[in-house]
Amino acid sequence: MTPDDRVYAYSAVLMGSPILLKLFEHNESLASGVFRLIKHQENTFTVNRPHSDIMAINHAAGRDPVTVSPPVFELIRRAKAISCLPDSSFNFTIGPLVKRWKIGFSGHSIPAAQDLQTLLALTNPEDVILDEQTRSVFLQQAGMEIDLGAIAKGYIADVVRDYLREQQVENALINLGGNVQTLGAGADGAWAIGLKKPFSEPDTLIGVINVIGKSVVTSGIYERYFELEGHCYHHILDPKTGYPLDNELLSVTIISEDSIDGDIWTTLLYGMGVEKSLAYLKQIPHIEAIFVTRDGQIVLSSQRQFTFTPLDDSYRVTI
Ligand code: ADP
Ligand code: MG
Ligand code: MG
């Protein structure tokens, strides 16, 4: 029996992405338990369907506070805190802009500058009023919309990891499409997670990241975008301008204990660019990053929690 024969892979399409679960036993009921859990979480957090806790908050914008469950309140509290950091490029009230651009969906278009100004006025995270006592969330202005797209998958990947742990699973991998969370070391002494080549076939890799019991989150501008007149409009928006963030980065990968941190930090660092991010990360040893730049560099912040094997000679690796 080769090591890989011990791995059982289960897949589903949820949250608009192919989901992959790897286990070290043939266990259909555990796999369906995991997929049920993800579906439940998706139904709570989505803004792409009419009914969810988040849509209830959005529908009541400018009108009523909405009481939510403790985990939803906690996630929103966290999203608000990060959004309100000085100069944060993460903003969970970006919803009206995301809806207007429709990047990655049919009907996408470049908004008029005037429209962007109007919508930007509806994206102040300080206008989200949280009441700990009633566990309620109130969007102060009509037209405001929460969008947890930059944090929910990370949160859900951690929920799945915790569930697997509760089920006494010691070795597993969950891939939610961009968000990978792992337990244990896989079949070969470490789990191997591919780093995709930007703007190429999904199977083309520029490197492999090896981790034991860590999360690997990648956010790339090549995942969801549209092109017009030679310009690439991708799905991570600059909360200051309302346009897609524009710098030297093609992707940011975060290696961390919790996937929610990976999800948050990919967006934060994407806004900072390489130089500033590297300086910033020196103070945060548990968050490590891999940047892929437009000029063909792969830059690693440090390598305490992972190893990296480059696979493409046309990229220069720097640490
Ligand atoms: P993905 O895993 O799909 O790459 P990210 O974690 O990078 O997603 O988050 C991108 C999604 O977050 C967008 O599709 C949008 O819904 C939302 N979003 C876009 N720009 C921002 C931003 N500046 N801050 C917070 N959320 C954002
Ligand atoms: Mg994210
Ligand atoms: Mg993500």
CB atoms within 10 A of CB 285: 11
Looking at residue 253, what is its pLDDT?
98
> Mean pLDDT of residues grouped by 10 in the chain (319 residues)?
76 94 96 97 88 94 97 97 97 97 91 96 98 98 97 97 98 95 95 96 95 97 88 94 95 98 97 96 96 97 96 95
φ and ψ at residue 118, rounded to 5 degrees: -60, -45
Q: What is the CA radius of gyration of the chain?
A: 20
Phi, psi of 251 (to 5 degrees): -155, 155
ipTM value: 0.97
Report the nearest-CA residue for atom 8 of ligand 1: 150
Residue 95 CA: nearest ligand 1 atom is 16
Q: Report whether residue 253 contacts ligand 1, using a CB cutoff of 6 Å.
A: no
Neighbours of 31 (CB within 10 A): 18
For residue 277, how far is its CA from the centre of ligand 3 (angstroms)? 18
Q: How far, in Å, from the CA of 239 to the mean position of ligand 3?
A: 17
In this prediction, residue 267 carries a pLDDT of 97
- What global pTM score does this model have? 0.95
Task: Measure the CA dihedral 156/160/163/167, to 10°.
Answer: 180
The per-residue pLDDT for 277 is 97
Query: CA 93, CA 239: separation in Å to the nearest integer?
Result: 9
Q: Is the CB of 145 under 6 A from ligand 1?
A: no
| 311: exposed, middle or buried (Cβ count in 10 Å: 0-12, 13-18, 19+) | middle
Distance CA(253)–CA(256), nearest Å, equals 10
Question: Which pLDDT score, from 0 to 100, does residue 4 have?
Answer: 67
Q: Report d(CA 97, CA 118) in Å as an integer.
A: 10
- Whether the Cβ atoms of residue 306 and residue 288 lie closer than 8 Å to each other: yes
Q: Is the CB of 274 under 6 A from ligand 1?
A: no
CA 165 to ligand 3 centroid distance, Å: 23
pLDDT of 1: 45
Whole-number Å distance between alpha carbons of 233 and 31:
37
Task: Identify the structural domains of the chain with CATH numbers, from first to last.
Answer: 3-26+160-318 (3.10.520.10)
Residue 220 CA: which ligand 1 atom is closest? 4
